[in-house]
Structure 1
Amino acid sequence: MSTSGRRSYHHGDLRAALLRSALHLLDADGVDALSLRAVARHAGVSPNAPYRHYRDKEALLAALAAHGFTELAARIGDASADTERDGGTAGPADLASTIAPMARATVRYALDHPGLFHLMFGHPCVGRPEVTAASDAAQAVVTARIAGFAAPEDREALKIGIWALVHGLSLLLLDGRLGDPTPEQIDVLVGSVVRAMVP
């Protein structure tokens, strides 16, 4: 076996190593600068190693977006579960208190992973089946939490409204339009905006 072949499997879990490197490069330099060769170089593997798992850059981007939605769903779910525990068995009593922790979790995720967040919501790869499935799963977490606050025929519109509010707030913060608030100030801001906009 060649030296480059040995380097390809140095990490044990090549797919995970490539994904970690791609996430780092995506957040640091953006989607345009990302390439399979750059990912291989960052991961310390041979230039051909990424092709063992990703046919091309588009396949890698789709894997990244799906990974992002899966992580986001977990964060939203955790935030929602924490609120439910804090509120007792009945959970929070109003819609704003239900939405606020999920909104904070989403905004934090966007700020922690700016490149990935832009990819998840603004790249053609989001139309691929694996990304759509992961996105739907993340949205299902929100839908389940707000189900008791709207009639069945209104739940989709409510979910879209929440999505638009949180997405817009995330982009304003990512673009620096709201200054440079601390994490604590961001949490307060998100809560205030949700309560101002949600009845």
Structure 2
Amino acid sequence: MARRSSSKGRYHHGELRTALLEAAIELIAERGLQGLSLRECARRIGVSHAAPYRHFADKRALLLAIARQGFTIFVEMGRAAMAAVADEDDPQARLDAYGVSYVRFAVDHPVHFRVMFSAELDEPSTIEALDDAVRCEQGAGDEAGAGAGAGASALADGDAGAFALLVEATQAVLGEDVDEAAGLVAALAAWSLPHGLAMLILDGRIPAEQVSTPGQVEALARTVIEQWRGPLARSGDGPPRRRKRSRSSR
């Protein structure tokens, strides 16, 4: 007898959208993004093949909803981590906490993380998607009208996004005298480090025994962030500058 999917029977009247999202996340975890389909989601929760279209115009609309949900969780975790820093006057510690929470989010919510940065959404700019990302998903409507033509703005439901939070935290470290362009570059650097570490973990490039528990993930993330970014930011020194070549060396 074939095993029944764990999402089967989870649907209750009035909760179709939630059930579809849960089924989609489960399906992506099993088969990857290419294995996702509205038809299979419908089959798993025991509704007609047409039912998902009441909420999602197509596969991309469903992915956008997952991404929006992910950004919501992501920003909430980042804000909570920064707020938990004992010394509110230590902006570097708050930025480090944001970076650690970034890695924790990726490990705790791998499907959301991959969807958020997936080429499947065909966003013109990941930064735009981050900047437009919703701070909360409360009141999110149906995505029945968010078809393949919807852009990064389809992720926007609030007035602050994940990248905006990162820029704010980075700016606090750099101080008010740093211009906007330099602040953006610093924010990109602060983003790249935890993102790269998260991808290494998710892709199995780091031995599983080193990241098998939340405590290990946090410890590794904190060590990497403090060793490669923290000291540079705290020192007040910029990146090493290229020395001018003397005439004799030309």
TM-score higher than 0.5 here?
yes
Cα displacement (A) at 1:129: 2.6
1:185 paired with 2:245, answer no
- Of residues 135-144 and 10-19 in structure 1, the stretch that sits farther from structure 2 once superposed is 135-144
1:103 aligned residue: 99
Q: Which amino acid aligns with 1:20?
A: E
- Of residues 175-184 and 118-127 in structure 1, the stretch that sits farther from structure 2 once superposed is 118-127
1:167 & 1:134 partners in 2: Cα distance?
24
For residue 144 of structure 1, the aligned residue among 168, 172, 177 is: 168
1:56 & 1:79 partners in 2: Cα distance?
35
- 1:33-112 mapped onto 2 (5 Å cutoff): 33-83=35-85, 86-87=86-87, 91-95=88-92, 97-112=93-108
For residue 166 of structure 1, the aligned residue among 194, 208, 220 is: 194
- What is the percentage of aligned positions where both structures have the same residue? 35
After superposition, the Cα gap between the structure-2 partners of 1:152 and 1:176, relative to the gap in structure 1 and judged at 3 Å, is same
Q: Deviations over 1:114-171 (max 9, x none)?
A: 2321221122415223455379711112222222222242221111111111110001
2:111 aligned residue: 115
1:59 & 1:105 partners in 2: Cα distance?
27
1:39 & 1:14 partners in 2: Cα distance?
11
After superposition, the Cα gap between the structure-2 partners of 1:194 and 1:134, relative to the gap in structure 1 and judged at 3 Å, is farther
Cα displacement (A) at 1:195: 0.8
Q: Which amino acid aligns with 1:105?
A: S
2:94 & 2:216 partners in 1: Cα distance?
19
1:197 paired with 2:228, answer yes
Which protein is bigger by CA-based radius of gyration? 2
Given that 1:110 and 1:170 are in contact with CA atoms closer than 8 Å, whether structure 2 keeps it comes out as: yes
1:3 aligned residue: none
> SS of the residue aligned with 1:142?
helix
Q: Greater relative contact order: 1 or 2 (C-alpha under 8 angstroms, separation 6 or more)? A: 1
Q: Which amino acid aligns with 2:166?
A: V
Structure number with the higher helix fraction is: 1
Q: Deviations over 1:174-196 (max 9, x none)?
A: 11111012321221111111111
> SS of the residue aligned with 1:191?
helix
After superposition, the Cα gap between the structure-2 partners of 1:67 and 1:130, relative to the gap in structure 1 and judged at 3 Å, is farther
Q: Which amino acid aligns with 1:133?
A: A
TM-score (norm 2): 0.68
> Which 5+ residue runs of structure 2 have no aligned equivalent?
1-8, 124-150, 233-250
Q: Which amino acid aligns with 2:112?
A: L
> Which 5+ residue runs of structure 1 have no aligned equivalent?
1-6
